[in-house]
Amino acid sequence: MKLEYTITVYTENQVGLLNRIAIIFSRRKINVESLNVSPSEVEGIHRFTIVINETEEVVRKLCRQIERQVEVLKAYYNTNEEIIWQEMALYKVPTDEVAEKMKVERLLREHGARAVVIRKDYTIFETTGQREETDKLVKVLEPFGLIEFVRSARVAIIKASKGFHEKLKEFEIQEPSEELAENEFLDQGQGVFTM
């Protein structure tokens, strides 16, 4: 059964990585609902937040494939119940409509919106929330001449996570796997024949 999943990918900040990750989705014909890339809590490490609707099996395979990229440190996937998430939205409404009708001001307060720009011809309001909340405000403002609406990509924090910097410490402490140790042995020139 398809569900909405949020994939969180921690990466080094390298040119071309976004394109390579996008190709992984396009080859599988998976539509990305939302994509956000930003610095993480660890300097030099970026965080991709990708929202898709898919089965868990497909999402698990995607994460494994994404992790094969050299610059990718780790990829996680979570359901909406396992994360805290928000999106930001901006709404442009004619100023005369807002100024004349006290009802609009009350409605905006009820939805937690605040004015960020007030001009003679239009006013821009901003709010944050989940998609259903920001979409609801669109419907409320449409009768008052909504000029424009834009919503950001999702930002999300995993509820059960201690933060990626803690996970990095755990990775540093772990003993290398047999496969990795074998590769290190070969890299040191032992067991490699030269002519």
d(CA 104, CA 150): 19
Could you state, in order of their start, the residue ranges of all structural domains in the chain?
3-83+158-176, 84-151
- The topology under which CATH files domain 3-83+158-176 is Alpha-Beta Plaits (3.30.70)
Angle at which helices 102-110 and 131-141 cross, to 10°: 170
d(CA 81, CA 41): 23
pTM, to two decimals: 0.77
The whole-number pLDDT of residue 43 equals: 86
Q: Residue 159, by phi and psi: left (phi above 0), alpha (psi -120 to 50) or beta?
A: alpha
Domain range 84-151, CATH class: alpha beta
What 110-113 contacts at long range (C-beta under 8 Å, 24+ apart), as own/partner pairs, is 111/136, 111/137, 111/140, 113/137
AA identity, residue 10: Y
d(CA 125, CA 114): 5
Q: What is the pLDDT of residues 25-57, one digit of tens each?
A: 999 999 999 999 999 888 888 999 999 999 999
d(CA 149, CA 136): 12
Q: What is the pLDDT of residues 83-135, one digit of tens each?
A: 999 999 999 999 888 777 667 777 788 888 988 998 999 999 999 999 999 99
The whole-number pLDDT of residue 101 equals: 67
Q: What is the DSSP letter of 145?
A: T
